[in-house]
């Protein structure tokens, strides 16, 4: 369109951002999962309730 | 039912699903970038449709899942519904933000602006804030039951905005185009769009499985801390 910037850089940026965001989110899930697993391994056994 | 009784996704199946998802999403992106020609009017920037529309679709799907899980939690008080709801809310926020950013990148070369207070954009931004609020409210409650109840109420009320977002382009005069459909798009574009919608939906299933498994683990850690830190509580 006349007077408007070329769309190609915006399109490329959009796909790069999409893949980066999705990769980041999966990485975050992996990281938090590892933290939770470590916390569970380190936690002492739950004391039993008095009957 | 305790946290350790909650059903958990099989890690092996999740990995297999992850690999399949990666391949399908990559195929969808490749089709959008290389298989179809550029749009005759919009040029190359039109290719953003193949990621923007799926992101927006998943955002609305996620918040619908939050709504359903919230209702189920209030009825049954089963913690798994709350954990599924928070999983869907978090994923929904990621896809809403992505949809807004991608829309902005499309809008600048097309409309000449990064943002406008158009009904579709405005209601989508409100939807994002509602669900960020949902997660924020959860951080205020230490008691898991109270947390689940508060956020379930927000998850139900907040869903009111979702159909408004979808119907905004039909109800009001708006810059944003109407929903994409086979009637509004040429054949090859439709197939690539549908491929990407399917790919992103598969991605959504994968992310939900992973996020739910994480939610169960984190809830288990919290429960252990609660029983350890206050020995009077069991």
In a domain, B107, yes or no: yes
In a domain, B229, yes or no: no
Mean pLDDT of chain B: 90
In a domain, B189, yes or no: yes
Rounded CA gap, B46 and B177, in Å? 12
Partner residue opposite B231 with nearest CB, options A18, A32, A47: A47
- Count of structural domains, chain B: 1
The better pLDDT of the pair A32, B174 is held by: A32
In angstroms, the separation between the Cα of residue A20 and the nearest Cα of chain B is: 11
CATH number at residue B118: 1.20.120
Which pLDDT score is estimated for B182? 63
In a domain, B1, yes or no: no
pTM of the prediction?
Answer: 0.89
Hey, is the C-beta of A16 within 8 angstroms of any chain B C-beta?
A: no
In a domain, B3, yes or no: no
pLDDT tens digits, B7-56: 666 778 888 899 999 999 999 999 999 998 888 888 899 999 999 999 99
In a domain, B58, yes or no: yes
CB B90 within 8 A of CB B123: no
Radius of gyration of chain B (CA): 20
Percent pLDDT > 90 in chain B is 73
Instruction: Note down the domain range covering B127.
Output: 11-222
pLDDT tens digits, A1-51: 455 567 899 999 999 999 999 999 999 999 999 999 999 888 765 555 444
Q: Do the Cβ atoms of B51 and A15 come within 8 Å?
A: yes
In a domain, B233, yes or no: no
In a domain, B228, yes or no: no
Rounded CA gap, B128 and B133, in Å? 9
pLDDT tens digits, B78-113: 999 999 999 999 999 999 999 999 999 999 999 899
CB B22 within 8 A of CB B222: no
* Residue B45: closest CA among A19, A2, A17, A5: A5
Q: Do the Cβ atoms of B98 and A18 come within 8 Å?
A: yes
- ipTM (interface predicted TM): 0.89
């Amino acid at each position: 369109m006349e007077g408007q910037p070329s769309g190609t850089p915006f399109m490329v940026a959009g796909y790069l951002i999409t893949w980066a965001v999705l990769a980041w989110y999966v990485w975050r899930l992996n990281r938090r999962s590892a933290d939770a697993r470590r916390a569970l391994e380190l936690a002492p056994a739950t004391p039993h309730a008095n009957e | 039912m305790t946290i350790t009784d909650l059903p958990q996704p099989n890690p092996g199946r999740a990995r297999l699903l992850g690999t399949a998802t990666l391949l399908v999403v990559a195929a969808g992106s490749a089709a959008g970038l290389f298989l179809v020609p550029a749009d005759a009017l919009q040029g190359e920037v039109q290719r953003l449709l193949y990621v923007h529309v799926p992101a927006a679709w998943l955002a609305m799907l996620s918040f619908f899942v939050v709504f359903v899980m919230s209702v189920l939690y209030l009825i049954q008080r089963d913690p798994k519904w709350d954990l599924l709801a928070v999983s869907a809310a978090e994923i929904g926020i990621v896809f809403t933000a992505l949809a807004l950013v991608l829309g902005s990148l499309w809008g600048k070369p097309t409309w000449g602006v990064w943002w406008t207070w158009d009904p579709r954009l405005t209601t989508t931004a409100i939807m994002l804030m509602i669900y960020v609020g949902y997660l924020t409210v959860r951080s205020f409650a230490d008691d898991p039951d109270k947390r689940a109840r508060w956020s379930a109420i927000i998850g139900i009320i907040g869903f009111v905005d979702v159909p408004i977002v979808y119907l905004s382009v039909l109800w009001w005069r708006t810059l944003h185009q109407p929903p994409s459909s086979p009637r509004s798009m040429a054949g090859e574009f439709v197939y690539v769009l549908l491929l990407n919608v399917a790919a992103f939906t598969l991605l959504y299933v994968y992310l939900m499985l992973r996020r739910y498994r994480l939610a169960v683990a984190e809830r288990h850690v919290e429960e252990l801390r609660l029983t350890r830190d206050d020995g009077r509580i069991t």
